Amino acid sequence: MKRFWDQAVATRTGDGHAVLLDGRPLRLPGAGPLSLPTAPLAEAVAAEWQAAGGAKGAEFRMEDVPLTRVVATALDRIAPDTEPSILALAEYGGTDLLCYRAAEPRLAARQRREWQPLLEWAVDQYGAPLGVTTGIMPISQPAASRAALAAALARRNALELAALGVAIPALGSLVLGLALAEGHLDAAEATRLAFLDEDFQQELWGVDAEAAERRRNVAADVDLAARLLALARR
């Protein structure tokens, strides 16, 4: 697409904050006005659009405005009905990465040392104990625990759910995603914990280029989610 504006700025509106492109309000893909709850979030979205393409008339892609894309998902698709997002994310509680441990003793010990405190945190925070198994065969988690984790998601607003919709699939863990949202973990630590297995394999066999690229992509997604969670906080 061609950049059609010179200046992108954040501004206060009657009930929130907007972004103006050469004085005209930025609109959502669904044609509604972009209305944001905090000034820092509006300023961050405006900064993306100010940088996109570099100058008026240049080419730009929606990949240049990743924060805007997640915000648009929140406001256009999630806000009208949060239940589908809550149900989809809650499914990760049944297959949480932290519950599946390796047979290799050294890796299993590392997983127990690094992951078990997060599962214990989920018990303290949400009353949601999750079972642990060795290998990759699925295990059934307590219905009450899954319901408690779903209730934790239901307390999140549309912007937070959109951020978690990026972070939780990237991490493969509902517990890690909620810990990120609660401020119990930062983005770097959540990513490190999600890549415990890969780091162990790398220590044994060296760096794999494809795995390293995947990690960079996951880290970028988790950073984006954490940034939105912080910016959307009133």
Q: What is the pLDDT of residues 33-46, one digit of tens each?
A: 899 999 999 999 99
Backbone angles phi, psi at 79, to 5 degrees: -55, -40
Backbone angles phi, psi at 133, to 5 degrees: -140, 165
Banded pLDDT at 83 (limits 50, 70, 90): very high
What percent of the chain has pLDDT above 90?
Answer: 87
15 pLDDT above the threshold of 90? no
Higher pLDDT, 112 or 204: 112
Q: How far apart (Å, rounded) are the C-alpha atoms in residues 198 and 189?
A: 15
- HEC secondary structure over 114-176: HHHHHHHHHHHHHCCCCCCEECCCCCCCCHHHHHHHHHHHHCCCHHHHHHHHHHHHHHCCHHH
pTM: 0.94
220 pLDDT above the threshold of 80? yes
Q: What is the pLDDT of residues 125-167, one digit of tens each?
A: 999 999 999 988 889 999 999 999 999 999 999 999 999 999 9
pLDDT for res 32 = 80
Stretch 84-105: mean pLDDT: 96
